[in-house]
Amino acid sequence: MYIGAEMDLLNGLNKKQKEAASHDTGPILVIAGAGTGKTRVLTHRIAYLINSGKARPGEILSITFTNKAANEMKERIGQLIDYDIDRMWMGTFHSICVRMLRRDIERLGYEKNFVIYDTDDQKNVVKTCIKELELDPKKYNSSTIRSIISSEKNNYNSPDKFISENYSNFFMRNVGDIYALYEKKLKICNALDFDDLLVKALKLLQTNPDIKEYYQDRFKYILVDEYQDTNNVQYNLVKILGKREDGDSNVFVVGDDDQSIYGWRGADINNILDFEKDFDNAKVVRLEKNYRSTDVILNAANSVIRNNYNRKGKELYTDFEGGEAIGLINTDNEKEEAFMIASDIRKEFENNNINYSEMAILYRANAQSRALEEGLMALGVPYKIVGGLKFYGRKEIKDIISYLMLIQNARDDISFSRIINLPKRKIGPKAIETLSQYASSQEISMFEACYDVNQLGMTSAATAGIQKFVEVMELLMVKKDALPLSEFIEAVYEDTGYEKMMHEDQSIEGMSRLENIQEFLSAAKDFEERYEQNSLEDFLAHVSLLSDTDKTDETEKERVTLLTVHSAKGLEYDVIFVAGLEERTFPIIRDDGADDDLEEERRLFYVAVTRAKKRLYLSYTNERLVYGHHEMRAPSRFIDEIPKEYLDKPVSSAFSKNVKRSSGEFDEFFRGEMSFNRMFKSESFIDEDIKIIDVYDDIKDEIIERPSKLKSDKLTTGDKVRHKAWGIGVVVSLSGEGSDQKATIAFDQKGLKTVMLSFAPIEKL
C-alpha cells in the first residue's frame, strides 16, 4: 500500500458516495435512493477500511439480506483490493447468527449439531401438534398457526406468556398449547426454526456478557444493508453488537425508508427513521443521484412518494434528461389487459429492439399472473415466473435433504417421518404412529425409539424394515466423517435405495426428477470446491438459508419476467409494466383504511416505478374478476398522483373503444383469432393476504368515463333487480344524486351490497 492508495479507491465515486465510504468513526446512516449505487458505496467502504489499515478483514461484520448480495459484494471487494477477505464475516442475519450459535449454543441447552427447519418442516411439526392435542385441523390451520408462532417469537413472547395473555379466549388458548408443544418438539429434535436463529442468537448475547464482549471487541466496524427492512430482533442484534460500552459505535447502515415494503412480515420502518435517536451523534448522508432511470420516471416517482408523511425526505435526480412519457393502458377486464400488455411487449421487441429478458410485468398479487400468462401465450411471447416452485422445494430434493438432516442430527423427527418408508420398506402408517407415540411417551426421538422396536408389537415385516433402516443410517453416519461432501451425498443416494427407486420410474416426470438429483449432486460438488468450510452441517446451513431470490433459476434467457412487486425489489429492467393499478387491487385497501398500510402500498408502488430504466407502462381495468365475481374498479389513486405532463393519454383496448363486449364474446374472439383453444379458463384465485371489501368506493365521473348502467329515475325502493355476478336482489334504499347515486340491495345469496348505479352491472326486473 502506498500513501493515498485508500483514496484512489474512491476516485470513481460521486461526492456523496465518497463522503459516505470514507466516513471515519462513529455511527452513520446512508439514505440510498433507488439506483443511487448503494452496493458500490458498501463495497468501497469495506475496501477503504481494509486498505487504509483501519480494520483487518476479520474485524468487519457486514450484514446483507440475501446470500446472493453477500457473494456479489465479496467479488466486488476482491476486485478492488488484494487482500484475503475470507476472514470477514459477511452474510445474512440468519447466516451470521448460525455461526454464533454453532460456537456457543450449548450455553442455551442445545447441542452444536442442531438442524434448521424450513417453512415446510415447521408446518409439519404444527400439524403433528394439532393431531396430538386432538384439535380440528380444519379449524386450526397449520400455516396460520405457524405465522402466529413466528410473530410471537419475534415479539419475545414465550408460550406461557401467550397462553396467559389469551386465557379467556378458547381458540387462542389452544393455539398457545400448540405453540408450547411445538417448542417442546423442536427441543427434543435439537432443531431450530428460522425465527429461532435470530431469537436464540440475541438471547445468547443478552444472557452471556462474555460472549457479547467477545463479539463487540472482535467487530470494530459493522455494516448493515437494507436497514429499512430490519425487524425488532434484527434491530436489537445490531444495537447490542454495535453499541459498545466504551461509547464507540462504528455502525454503518444503508437503506431507503421509501422502499420499506415488508411491514407485513415484521419489518419496522421506525428502525431507520429513528436511527439518530438510537445512536448519538449519528451522521446522515443522502444518495440522491440515480444512475438507472430517465428523468420522467424519477419525477413521477418523486411526485408519488411525496404524499407519504413517514419519511426522511429526498429527491432523486439523474443526468438522463427527458425520456418517454409513461404509457397508460386502460381495458375493460383483466383478459383484455393481458392481451394489451402482451401486444405492447411484442412492439417493444420488434420495433424498439428491446430484448424480452429486459422486460418485466409487475403485479401486486400472485393471483394476477394467471391472466397475464394466458395473454403472453396467446401472442407467443416467451416468459418466466419468479415465485414458482423453486429447485430446493421439489420433492426429490427435499427427500435427499431430509436424509442428510437426519444423518447430521438423529433427533430430527420431521426428517425421520419423511424418509423412514421412502423408498418403501414395509413400514406402514400404523408402525410410524406406534413409533411416534412411544417416542413421545419416553420423551426421546423417533430414531432412538427404533432401538426398542422389538418391544412395540409391530409386524415382523415392519420390525425388519426399521432395523434395516437403522443399520443403513448408522453406516452413513460413519461415512459422513470419512468421505468428501459430494462423495458422501452420492453414498446416501445409493445406500438408502433412493437411486434404485428413481431409476425404476421411466416416465418423463421420472427422468426430470433424475435430472434434478444430478443437479443437486452438482450443487454439492460446487459447494465443496468453492468453500473451505464444506462439512455436511455447513452445506445444510447453506441450503437452508438460501432466499427465494437466491434460488431463482438464472439459466432462463430471453424471456419476459413475471413477478410480484415485492419480488422485484433490487432488480431493474429496461421496460416495466405495472398491471392491475386499480383501487382495492393496488393499493389494497383494508377495512380500517389505516394510514400506515396506505403509506406502505405507496412505497410499494414507488419500488415498482423505480425498477424501470427506459420505459414505464401503467395498466388498469374497469372490471376485474375476484373470487369468481365481476367487480367494478376505479383507477388507482397513485396514477392520479403523477403529474399529467409525465403521462401519455390512456390507450384503450380495441375491444372496448367502440363496443362493450362481454367476457364470453372476448373469449370467443381470442380463441378464434389466436387458435389457442385452452385460453382463459374460469379458475380464479388471489393471495391470502388480500381482503376484498364488498362496498364499492366512491367513483367520480372525472376519474373515469363510462356509460350509465341504469338510470336513477328508473329505480325505486322495493324494485327487483338482477346483478351480473350476484344474482337477484331487492332494492333496500337509494342515496346520492345523479351519477353519484348508490343503491343498497339485499341479494338472495350474497346479502347486502352497496353499488354505484352508474357503474353496477344490474338490470331492473
pLDDT given at position 468: 93
Residue 148 scores a pLDDT above 80: yes
| pLDDT tens string 433-449 | 999 999 998 889 999 99
Q: Is the pLDDT of residue 644 over 60?
A: yes
Residue 246 has pLDDT above 80, yes or no: no
Residue 4 scores a pLDDT above 70: no
Maximal CA-CA distance, the chain: 90
User: Which residues have CB under 8 Å from 143's CB, separation 6+?
Assistant: 123
pLDDT given at position 337: 95
User: By C-alpha distance, which of 73, 105, 104 is closest to 88?
Assistant: 73
Given this model, what pLDDT does residue 653 score? 55
Between residues 543 and 40, the one the model is more confident about: 40
Please give the average per-residue pLDDT across 198-202, as a whole number. 97
How much is the average pLDDT of 74-96?
A: 89
In 3D space, the residue among 198, 270, 205 whose CA is nearest the CA of residue 243 turns out to be 205
Catalytic residue set: 38-39, 225-226, 259, 611
Higher pLDDT, 590 or 464: 464
Residue with the larger pLDDT of the pair 527 and 76: 76
pLDDT of 285 > 70? The answer is: yes
pLDDT digits (tens, 9 = 90+) for 331-352: 998 889 999 999 999 999 999 9
Residue bearing the bigger pLDDT, 526 or 94: 94
Q: Regarding predicted confidence, which is higher, 594 or 205?
A: 205
- pLDDT higher than 50, residue 411: yes
Q: How confident is the model at residue 245 (pLDDT cuts 50, 70, 90)?
A: confident
Q: Are the C-beta atoms of residues 627 and 578 closer than 8 Å to each other?
A: no
- 318 pLDDT band, cuts 50/70/90, is very high
Question: Does pLDDT of 479 surpass 50?
Answer: yes
The more confident residue out of 303 and 458 is 303
Question: What SS3 class is residue 135?
Answer: coil
Query: Is 65 a residue whose pLDDT tops 50?
Result: yes
Percent of the chain with pLDDT over 70: 84
- The rounded mean pLDDT for the chain is 84
Backbone angles phi, psi at 310, to 5 degrees: -85, 80
Q: What is the DSSP letter of 227?
A: G
Give the rounded percent of residues in the chain with a pLDDT score beyond 90.
56
Report angle CA 58, 536, 64 to the nearest 5 degrees.
40
Q: Encode pLDDT of 13-44 as tens digits.
A: 999 999 999 998 999 999 999 999 999 999 99
Radius of gyration of the CA atoms of the chain, in A: 29
- Identify the CA nearest to 199 among candidates 183, 215, 184: 183
For residue 207, what is its C-alpha cell?
444472557
**pLDDT, position 130:** 95
Lowest-pLDDT range, 67-71, 107-111, 554-558? 554-558
Give the best-scoring range by mean pLDDT among 77-91, 275-289, 511-525, 703-717: 275-289
Determine the straight-line distance between the first and last CA of the chain, rounded to whole angstroms. Answer: 88
Q: How far is CA 603 from the centre of its chain?
A: 16
Range among 237-246, 463-472, 622-631 rated most confident? 463-472
Report pLDDT for 122: 92
Give the model's pLDDT for residue 234. 95
**DSSP collapsed to 3 states, 606-655:** HHHHCCEEEEEEEEEECEEEECCEEEECCECHHHHCCCHHHECCCEECHH
> Which residue type sits at 50?
I
Q: Does pLDDT of 658 surpass 70?
A: no
Span of 2-6, 372-376, 446-450, 483-487 with lowest mean pLDDT: 2-6
Q: Is the pLDDT of residue 748 over 70?
A: no
What's the mean pLDDT in 705-709?
Answer: 39
pLDDT exceeds cutoff 60 at 553: no
pLDDT digits (tens, 9 = 90+) for 683-699: 222 233 322 222 223 22
Does 527 score more than 90 pLDDT? no
- Per-residue model confidence (pLDDT) at position 21: 95
In tens, the pLDDT along 594-637 reads: 677 899 999 999 999 999 999 999 999 998 877 556 789 999 99
Contact call for residues 253 and 312 (beta carbons, < 8 A): no
The 3-state DSSP class for residue 218 equals helix
**pLDDT confidence bin for 86, thresholds 50/70/90:** confident
Give me the pLDDT at residue 14, please: 95
Gap between the Cα atoms of 672 and 377, Å rounded? 15
Q: What are the contacts of 422-428 at 24+ separation with CB within 8 A? A: 422/498, 422/501, 423/496, 423/497, 423/498, 423/500, 423/501, 425/465, 425/466, 425/468, 425/469, 426/459, 426/461, 426/462, 426/464, 426/465, 427/462, 427/465, 427/466, 427/469, 428/462
* Amino acid code (one letter) for 522: S
Range with the lowest mean pLDDT among 355-364, 368-377, 412-421, 584-593?
584-593
Contact 422, 498 (CB under 8 A): yes
pLDDT score of 702? 27
Give the model confidence (pLDDT) of 165-176 as tens digits. 999 999 999 999
The answer to whether residue 672 scores a pLDDT higher than 50 is no
Which range among 154-158, 208-212, 543-547 has the greatest average pLDDT? 208-212
| Concatenated DSSP letters of 154-194 | HTT--HHHHHHHTTT-HHHHHHHHHHHHHHHHHHHTTEEEH
pLDDT-derived band at 377 (thresholds 50, 70, 90) equals confident
Q: Which of 706, 705, 707, 717 is nearest to 742 (CA)?
A: 717
Whether 288 and 33 have beta carbons less than 8 Å apart is answered as yes
Lowest-confidence region among 53-67, 444-458, 552-566, 654-668:
654-668
